């Protein structure tokens, strides 16, 4: 397990959000939920933090306050093996949130995600003309389409 992992600061939805992600992301489970005891910034018994393993990646979620909202400056990347996986993650994670250009979305909690085909780095490995075609195709998309990106790669 890596010693580096994200910590997401929620207003009060830390446990709910991680449970939502666990329900969507394959091979995921809740790890721990920590409640305020006699000392803490919230009422005794309130959730202060939670951890989950999202397909093997530890994620810590804490409840703070609305002072620090999420922005696309930090995002979680979901590498997908198939268009079916991209479609599934895209549809579920964007529900109640909003979509952005180039495979980015913000979920209903405001967390930014990049839903990307696992092969994308390979599609950028060609010469500059190939990279330009692939990037041009991607820049015209909201949800990424593997077949369109592969066609851009293959075009001469």
* Alpha-carbon torsion angle 138, 75, 86, 79, nearest 10: 90
Provide the CATH topology of domain 1-69.
3.30.720
Geometric angle at alpha carbon 90, from 70 and 146, rounded to 5°? 120
Per-residue pLDDT reduced to its tens digit, 13-40: 999 999 999 999 999 999 999 999 888 7
Domain boundaries, the chain: 1-69, 70-156
Per-residue pLDDT reduced to its tens digit, 109-133: 999 999 999 999 999 988 999 999 9
Look up the pTM and report it: 0.92
- Looking at the DSSP bridge assignments, the partners of residue 63 are 10
| 70-156 maps to CATH 3.40.50.1820 | no
Residue 102 DSSP class: G
Q: Strand, helix or coil at 29?
A: strand
């Amino acid at each position: 397990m890596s010693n580096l992992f994200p910590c997401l600061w929620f207003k009060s939805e830390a446990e709910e959000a991680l449970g939502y992600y666990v329900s969507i992301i394959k091979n995921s489970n809740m790890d721990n939920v920590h409640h305020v005891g006699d000392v803490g910034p919230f009422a005794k018994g309130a959730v202060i933090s939670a951890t989950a393993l999202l397909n093997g990646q530890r994620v810590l979620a804490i409840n703070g306050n609305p002072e620090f909202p999420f922005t696309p400056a930090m995002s979680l990347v979901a590498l997908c093996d198939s268009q079916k996986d991209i479609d599934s993650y895209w549809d579920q994670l964007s529900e109640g949130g909003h979509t952005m250009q180039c495979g980015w979305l913000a979920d209903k909690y405001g967390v930014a995600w990049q839903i990307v085909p696992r092969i994308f780095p390979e599609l950028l490995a060609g010469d500059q003309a190939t990279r330009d075609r692939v990037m041009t195709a991607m820049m015209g998309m909201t949800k990424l389409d593997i077949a369109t990106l592969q066609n851009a790669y293959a075009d001469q």
